[in-house]
Structures are given as structure tokens and as C-alpha cells.
């Protein structure tokens, strides 16, 4: 293809190493959560932001934005989580057509049970293998790439909220 800026050897190695790391890390974290808490990494991804909200609820579109999931994926996953009793859909009293996704007590217990082992796994598998300086560089790189995504799409980036350690 004319005009294609092919990856050079170093870029190709870096890209493939990143993809392998990302895939292996996700698979290992998923197995840890399944074995220790009976949750998937996707379940944890839904429950964590809900548990961090003061009222334990978010609009579906807010959850979709935070997770970067397609609407159909979120809808199907929430239906499975509702059947397991981790979340419920609540109508919005102000907007009759709108709804909230709300974490249940069972969902809160599930994430509270899962969080310590998950954090230990994140440390053991990822953070403990990097120096403080490397973690800071990784944060700057990731923030730079995401800011470029936001700029491309015309979105205003949200400042990263201070979150509990989950």
C-alpha cells in the first residue's frame, strides 16, 4: 500500500511485546480473579467503578465510557451480572427513559472479597517488576497516548479521579 508507514524492526518488537504483555497480563489477572473470587476481569471492571461511586451507581453510558466497551457488550455483560445478583438496573426518577446501574450488596461483597487478591496480583505480575521511575514513565506515556485519542475524537479528557486502591 502506497504511503504506508511500516513499522521498523524496533517498533515492531516494541508493539508485539506490548501486545503480548497486555494479553498475558489480562489472562493471568482473569485466572486469579476466577480462582480466588469467582469473578471475571470484566466483572471486576464493572464493579470497581460502581463501588467507588458514593451512591454506588452510574448511568450506563458513563460505565460504557469508563470501560471503553461497545454498548452491546456492556448490555450483555450487565444482564449476566444482574442474573448473578451483582448489579441492578434502577429507573432514573428525573428522566423516565434513563436508568442507573447500581451495585448490590452481593456485588459489593464480591469486589471487597476480590480486591485484596487482585491488588496483590497486579503488584506481583506487573508493578513489582518495574522501578518507581519506570512506573512514572509508563503513566506519562499512557496519558500522552490517551490524550492524543481524546484530541483526535474531539473529546475533552477527564482528569483522572483519585480512586481507592482496588
What is the tens place of the pLDDT at every residue in 33-65? 999 999 999 999 999 999 999 999 999 999 999
**114 and 53 within one domain:** yes
**108 and 151 within one domain:** no
**102 and 53 within one domain:** yes
Taking CA atoms, 111 is separated from 35, 39, 41, 121, 164, in Å, by 14, 8, 11, 15, 12
Please say if the pLDDT value at position 165 is more than 70. no
**118 and 36 within one domain:** yes
Q: What is the pLDDT of residues 102-118, one digit of tens each?
A: 999 999 999 999 999 99
Residue 163 lies in a domain: no
User: What's 37's domain CATH number?
Assistant: 1.10.10.10
**136 and 90 within one domain:** no
**149 and 94 within one domain:** no
Residue 5 lies in a domain: no
**Strand order in 57-58's β-sheet?**
57-58, 99-103, 87-91
Domain span at residue 148 reads: 130-156
How many domains is the chain partitioned into structurally?
2
Q: Residue 159's pLDDT is what?
A: 53
The answer to whether the CB of 126 falls within 8 A of the CB of 120 is no
Q: What is the pLDDT of residues 13-30, one digit of tens each?
A: 999 999 999 999 999 999
The fraction of the chain above a pLDDT of 90, given in percent, is 83
pTM of the full predicted structure? 0.85
Q: Residue 96's pLDDT is what?
A: 67
Residue 16 lies in a domain: no
Nearest to 109 by CA among 156, 35, 64, 56: 56
Residue 11 lies in a domain: no
Residue 165 lies in a domain: no
- Segment holding 161, helix H or strand E: none
Residue 33 lies in a domain: yes
Amino acid at each position: 500500500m502506497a504511503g504506508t508507514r511500516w513499522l521498523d524492526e524496533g517498533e515492531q518488537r516494541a508493539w508485539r511485546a506490548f501486545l503480548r504483555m497486555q494479553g498475558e497480563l489480562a489472562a493471568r489477572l482473569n485466572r486469579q480473579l476466577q480462582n480466588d473470587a469467582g469473578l471475571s476481569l470484566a466483572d471486576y471492571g464493572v464493579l470497581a467503578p460502581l463501588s467507588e461511586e458514593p451512591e454506588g451507581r452510574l448511568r450506563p453510558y458513563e460505565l460504557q465510557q469508563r470501560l471503553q466497551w461497545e454498548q452491546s457488550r456492556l448490555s450483555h455483560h450487565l444482564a449476566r451480572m444482574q442474573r448473578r445478583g451483582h448489579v441492578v438496573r434502577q429507573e432514573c426518577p428525573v428522566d423516565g427513559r434513563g436508568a442507573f446501574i447500581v451495585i448490590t450488596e452481593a456485588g459489593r461483597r464480591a469486589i471487597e472479597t476480590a480486591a485484596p487478591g487482585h491488588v496483590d496480583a497486579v503488584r506481583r505480575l506487573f508493578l513489582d517488576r518495574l522501578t518507581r521511575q519506570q512506573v512514572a514513565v509508563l503513566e506519562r506515556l499512557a496519558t500522552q497516548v490517551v490524550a492524543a485519542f481524546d484530541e483526535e475524537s474531539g473529546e475533552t479528557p477527564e482528569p483522572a479521579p483519585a480512586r481507592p486502591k482496588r
